[in-house]
Amino acid sequence: MKRIAVFASGTGSNFEAIHDSILKGNLDAEIVLLVVDQPKAAVIEKAKRRQVETLVLSPKEFPSKKDYETAILQRLQELKVEEIVLAGYMRLITDVLLTPYQNHIVNIHPSLLPDFKGKDAIGQAVAAGAKKMGVSIHYVDSGMDTGTIISQESFDVEKGMTLEEIEHRIHAIEHVLYSNTLKKLWEGTK
């Protein structure tokens, strides 16, 4: 069983989907820590209800990003975390975490990478008139959504689809694809 940490900054629907998948026995893992960088993020309450230990750290309260990530690393090591899963974590990761967790940090991004990296990827794709949209799961490196792609799922954008419908479709894909990809990855079949 993998000992994992989920990092999130916001709503936490992907955190919940992964946790549900573990509870159902689909994913052989335990979320031993949720790391949150936004003290008011809705995901904190969700983790509390699910009795998942949460580390809420505000980067601005640390002298540097290095100190902030060092504090996270310390707790990860105390808890013997093996894998880091970014789920709506809105920060770049630096060498403090990348070095000890090389090839063990993954992220989910709501676009068909390498298109539409960074913030508001769905909005970027809609503005560009993309005919195909989707979700990517990739290894994390020091860039913004630049690491090696592990899996992707796409759909055709139908004429007249509203932004809300597109977002709904993307999130529905995310909530299934992330757990399925992690399962294959950690079983060594991906």
Question: Which is closer to ligand GRF, CB of 11 or CB of 26?
Answer: 11
Angle at 133 between CA 25 and CA 141, to 5 degrees: 65
11 near 20, Cβ under 8 Å? no
Shortest Å, Cβ 145 to ligand GRF: 9
For position 6 contacting ligand GRF by CB under 6 A, the verdict is: no
Nearest-CB residue for ligand GRF: 88
Secondary structure letter of residue 60 according to DSSP:
G
For ligand GRF, the closer of residues 12 and 76 by Cβ is 12
* For ligand GRF, the closer CB: 62 or 123: 123
**Dihedral sign (CA 108, 109, 111, 112):** negative
Does position 8 bind ligand GRF by CB under 6 A? yes
List the interface residues with ligand GRF, window 10-29 (CB under 6 A): 10-14
Region for residue 80 given its phi and psi (left: phi exceeds 0; alpha: psi -120 to 50; beta: otherwise): left
**110 upstream amide cis, omega within 30 of 0:** no
Tokens 């505000």 belong to residue = 58
Q: Does 134 bind ligand GRF (CB under 6 A)?
A: no
Catalytic residue among 109, 168, 171, 175: 109
**168 labelled catalytic:** no
List of residues contacting ligand GRF (CB under 6 A): 8, 10-14, 87-88, 108-110, 174
